[in-house]
Amino acid sequence: MTNLTRPPEYERLDATLARLQVVLPIGILVAVGIYAGVFQVWLIDHTDPWLTFILEFLIFGLVGAVAVWMALGWIRRLVDENIERDRQARTQERLLATISANSADAITLLDNDGCIKSWNRGAELLFGYTPPEILGKHFSLLVPQEHSTELDHIDQVLEENGFVRGWITQRLTRDGRMLTVELTRTLLRDENGALIGSSAILRDVTEREKNALAVREMNRQLETLVAQRTRELAESNRELRRRQHELEKANVELKQLDELKSEFVSLVSHELRAPLANISGSLELLLSDANNLTTNQRDLLSLANDQVERLARLVRGILNVSRIEAGQTLLQMQAFDITATVERICAQWQRCDTEHLWIVDAPGNLPSVWADRDRIEEVLTNLMENAFKYSDPETEIRVHCEPRDGEMVISVSDQGKGIESEDLRLIFDKFYRVERDDARRTYGYGLGLYISIKLVEAMGGKLWADSEMGKGSTFYFSLPLAGHTAPTYTSAMSVN
Ligand code: ADP
pLDDT in tens, 14-49: 888 888 888 888 887 887 788 777 777 777 777 787
Tell me, in angstroms, the distance from the centre of ligand 1 to residue 427's CA.
Answer: 7
Q: What is the Cα–Cα distance from 105 to 200, expressed in whole angstroms?
A: 10
Ligand 1 pocket, residue 448 CB under 6 Å: yes
The CB of 414 under 6 Å from ligand 1? The reply is yes
Residues of the chain with confidence (pLDDT) below 50:
1-4, 439-440, 487, 489-492, 494-496
Q: How far is Cα 180 from Cα 203, in angstroms, rounded to an integer?
A: 8
Ligand 1 atom 24 nearest Cα: 390
Of 378, 320, 384, 317, the closest CA to residue 347 belongs to 384
- Which pLDDT score is estimated for 5? 56
Cβ–ligand 1 contact at 314 (below 6 Å): no
The CB density around residue 338, as the number of other CB atoms within 10 Å, is: 22
- The pLDDT score that the predictor gives to residue 485 is 52
The sign one gets for the Cα dihedral 453, 457, 460, 461 is positive
Look at the pTM and tell me if it is higher than 0.95.
no
- Torsion, Cα 485 486 491 494, to 10 degrees, reads -60
- Closest atom of ligand 1 to CA, residue 444: 2
For residue 486, give the amino acid letter: A
Tell whether ligand 1 has an atom less than 6 A from the beta carbon of residue 416: yes
How far is C-alpha 355 from the geometric centre of its chain's CA atoms? 65
State if residue 317 touches ligand 1 by the CB under 6 angstroms criterion.
no
Q: How far is the CA of 433 from the centre of ligand 1 (A)?
A: 6
What is the helix (H) or strand (E) element at residue 337, kind and residue range?
none
Radius of gyration of the chain measured on its C-alpha atoms: 60
How far apart, in whole angstroms, are the C-alpha atoms of residue 390 and residue 439? Answer: 9
**Cβ of 434 below 6 Å from ligand 1:** yes
CA 386 / ligand 1 centre spacing (Å): 6
Cβ–Cβ < 8 Å for 367, 403: yes
Q: Which residues contact 38 (CB under 8 A, 6 or more apart)?
A: none
pLDDT of residue 378: 93
What is the 457 CA–ligand 1 centroid distance (Å)? 19
**398-415 burial, b for 16+ CB within 10 Å, e for fewer?**
bbbbeeeeebbbbbbbbb
Distance CA 400, CA 384 (A): 12
Q: Could you give the CA distance from residue 438 to residue 16 in angstroms, rounded to a whole number?
A: 130
pLDDT digits 0-9 by tens, 418-472: 999 999 999 999 889 987 665 445 778 899 999 999 999 999 999 999 999 999 9
Taking the centre of ligand 1 as the mean of its atom positions, its distance from the CA of residue 470, in whole angstroms, is 15
Tell me, using a 6 A CB cutoff, whether residue 390 lines ligand 1.
yes
Say if ligand 1 is within 6 A of residue 446 CB.
Answer: yes
**Per-residue pLDDT, 2:** 41
